[in-house]
Structure 1
Amino acid sequence: MIFSWRNKRAARHAAKNEKLELISNMELKIPSHFRCPISLDLMRDPVTLSTGITYDRDSIEKWIEAGNNTCPITNQFLTNLDPVPNHTLRMMIQDWCVEKRSYGIERIPTPRIPISLYEVSEILSRIQAAKEQEDGEGCKEVVLKINALAKESDRNKRCILSQGTSGVLAATFEAFSKVPFDRNVGLLEEILSTLTTLMLPLDGDAKPYLGSNSSLHCLVWFLKNGNLSGRRNSVLALLHIFSSDQQKIDDLSEIGGAIEALLNLIKEPISPSTTNASLKLMYHIVSKSSSSANSEIIARLAKMGLVQMLLEMLVDCEKSICEKALGVLDEICRCDEGREKAYGNALTMPVLVKKLLRVSDLATQFSVSILWKLGKNEKCEGGHVLTEALQLGAFQKLLLLLQVGCADRTKEKASELLKLMNLYRDRAECIDSLDFKNIKRPF
């Protein structure tokens, strides 16, 4: 009985496989009037222009947004740039998909009606009214709706952004950041998430609101106390603000716990994108803050162990993170406190010499700059830093760098390093580094 059941099951499977093979060998032809004249693919949301020609919405909207005001087929000028949904053709396409489901064709879903400029204007008016009434819950409900609509389609997102939504949301963030956090944390977190995940880069109207004193304190609060997404979003927002406003960097440095919170993100990374943003923000802080505060900030960071964190990160990290970590380390080594920490770490020379000519031109540039600062400013007798660099093969790599070419400033530093190292070549046994097969050459 068992054998009989197995035989029947095998026969059913064989028949099914034979049917599928027969279907796959048949050529399925899509009716020509179901195809978009631009993409030549099956239309999912057919719309008709004022010329009477039907296209897939995504294709024709990209054509119009590129600055074209003519019909791609007839080349006639469009009297109306708003395409009209062709419901009849869409239902015909859906019925055809159902008939051909045995070929693996799935029925296209009924598209949602795109949001209009009027609807966006109405939504922004509701946010403005909720802000004036200090209605946090009502405002959060509208922000969630904007988030959902923007995620539905790129067309919705473009329409929402075109009405200055990021500026309205940033103004709302500032307004609610001035009242106690415990009443509006959910709203502020939702606004921050919408701005950083859907609306970057922010327009000029949004930056002043997010860069205000109350907004900065709120962003630092999320940086210290927020959940993982809140901390990530706050770093992205701060980076976008400070990349073009040096004064705001000084303002951030004066907020208690801001530097420490950023350092914790580097020490305990959340994701590669967050680490990248944190390192980039840290670079802005150590390189662009005012001269009077720069040395103090670097000294604080050095005492908090940033040099060691960066060196440990550089042992094994991806290209983007490597470049940013070397950039931060290069800036820290401008000050005595930063160099002292680098001198005292056993990883410094091995890591820096290893990165020469191996990661990218930018990483090599930073590595040469750091070696130059450490070698030139070494105060102890005997040239221990330069001697160690010689033993690790830095002399040969710098010679090769000059041969393959580099930026003028890097060339000057490399040449000066070679002169400094040459004084200690008779005291150090250099490693033969003639085998450069693993080095990424630019030629």
Structure 2
Amino acid sequence: MDGFFSKVLDFMRNAESGIKIVEQVVKILDLMLTKISDKKLLLETNCLSTILLILQRGNSDSQIEAVRLLESIAVDGESKLKIGQKEGLVAELVKSLRKENPRLIEASLSFFIAITTPKRIKTVVIQYRIIPELKYLLSQPNTTTSITEKALELLEELSTCKEGRVEIWHDSVLLGRIAETVLKVSSNATEHAVAILWSGCYLFRDRKAQEAVASSNGMTKLLLLMQSNCSPAVRQMSGDLVKVLGVNYKLCLSNYDTKTTHIMPC
């Protein structure tokens, strides 16, 4: 297997082989992922350049395979930094979030979730305007549950650095989109959405974030969530949010007809 891998790697090192040949090479590597013992060889500059070429000019299937390949070699801080610092690579992956292929979007989101653990990579990704792309995905009516979950998970990860916090919490439209997912998508989406809101409104007490959540009918959504079969952690964060938003329960509920007066905090 090592000898065969070496032969395949030679093609990856030579982007002049032609796009069709390189697409086939990436397909083979994608199938071999679990059997490759030293994936760090794929971090060589020439190999990353070939992957970038696939993302720019390859067909949809080969682009998905290239993204999966990148995720598989992002195994530690060093490899993540090397991938993140490859000129043009992050920019091209951010662009892929606008393509009309849910499988490619989902693969790219999984890659970004895997790679953005180091703060330096978070900063790079944010500089390439990934947060507006995540906002766009959350605003589309046909976005799949899996893509929504991954978009929220990535936003939660990006909110752990200063640059991400500022951009997310000061975008009232984005916060409104996040608040809308609290009840509508899935338990995983709910957990990520509530964690983002909790971080901004409760942990860091960001005033603009609090105002945005309150103006998006966030209080009612949180009260409904607390009555649902949510996890203890989500219920606790929701309770914290209700308290910090500073709205009296009875005052909040008085704006609704008697059919909704059963909504009370647990």
**Same fold by TM-score greater than 0.5:** yes
CA drift of 1:374 comes to 1.9
1:282 aligned onto 2:112 = yes
Contact map agreement 2:81 2:121 (CA 8 A) in 1: no
Q: Write the letter of the residue equivalent to 1:327.
A: E
Question: How far does the alpha carbon of each residue in 1:210-242 deviate from its partner, in whole angstroms, 9 at most, with x for none?
Answer: 455543342233224444443232112112333
Contact map agreement 1:228 1:270 (CA 8 A) in 2: no
The equivalent of 1:332 in structure 2 is: 158
Find the aligned partners of 2:57 and 2:259 in 1 and give their Cα distance. 50
Question: How far does the alpha carbon of each residue in 1:282-309 deviate from its partner, in whole angstroms, 9 at most, with x for none?
Answer: 11122x23xxxx1x43333334322121
Q: Which of 12, 21, 26 is the equivalent residue of 1:177?
A: 12
Taking a change above 3 Å as real, the CA distance of residues 403 and 211 of structure 1, as seen in their structure-2 partners, is same
Question: How far does the alpha carbon of each residue in 1:99-143 deviate from its partner, in whole angstroms, 9 at most, with x for none?
Answer: xxxxxxxxxxxxxxxxxxxxxxxxxxxxxxxxxxxxxxxxxxxxx
Find the aligned partners of 2:200 and 2:23 in 1 and give their Cα distance. 43
Please show how residues 117-266 of structure 1 align to structure 2 within 5 Å: 164=1, 170-179=5-14, 181-196=15-30, 199=31, 202-205=34-37, 207-242=39-74, 244-266=75-97
Find the aligned partners of 2:152 and 2:257 in 1 and give their Cα distance. 23
CA drift of 1:358 comes to 1.6
Find the aligned partners of 1:184 and 1:333 in 2 and give their Cα distance. 41
- Which structure would you say has the larger RCO, counting Cα contacts within 8 Å and 6 or more residues apart? 2
Q: Which of 124, 135, 138 is the equivalent residue of 1:311?
A: 135
1:343 aligned onto 2:174 = no
Taking a change above 3 Å as real, the CA distance of residues 302 and 250 of structure 1, as seen in their structure-2 partners, is closer
Find the aligned partners of 1:213 and 1:384 in 2 and give their Cα distance. 43
1:352 aligned onto 2:153 = no
1:393 aligned onto 2:217 = yes
Contact map agreement 1:171 1:210 (CA 8 A) in 2: no
Contact map agreement 1:207 1:241 (CA 8 A) in 2: yes
Find the aligned partners of 1:375 and 1:174 in 2 and give their Cα distance. 49
Question: How far does the alpha carbon of each residue in 1:23-42 deviate from its partner, in whole angstroms, 9 at most, with x for none?
Answer: xxxxxxxxxxxxxxxxxxxx
Q: Write the letter of the residue equivalent to 2:105.
A: T
Find the aligned partners of 1:434 and 1:325 in 2 and give their Cα distance. 36
Taking a change above 3 Å as real, the CA distance of residues 435 and 193 of structure 1, as seen in their structure-2 partners, is farther
Contact map agreement 2:182 2:193 (CA 8 A) in 1: yes
Unaligned runs of 5+ in 2: 261-266
Q: Write the letter of the residue equivalent to 1:207.
A: K
Q: Write the letter of the residue equivalent to 1:176.
A: F
TM (norm. structure 1) is: 0.51
Unaligned runs of 5+ in 1: 1-163, 437-443
Contact map agreement 2:71 2:115 (CA 8 A) in 1: no
Contact map agreement 2:198 2:241 (CA 8 A) in 1: yes
Taking a change above 3 Å as real, the CA distance of residues 424 and 201 of structure 1, as seen in their structure-2 partners, is same
CA RMSD of aligned residues (A): 3.0
Give the structure with higher Rg (CA): 1
More helix by share: 2
Q: Helix, strand or coil: the match of 1:419?
A: helix
Find the aligned partners of 2:181 and 2:259 in 1 and give their Cα distance. 16
Find the aligned partners of 2:165 and 2:83 in 1 and give their Cα distance. 25
Contact map agreement 1:330 1:366 (CA 8 A) in 2: yes
Find the aligned partners of 1:434 and 1:215 in 2 and give their Cα distance. 64
Find the aligned partners of 1:352 and 1:394 in 2 and give their Cα distance. 10
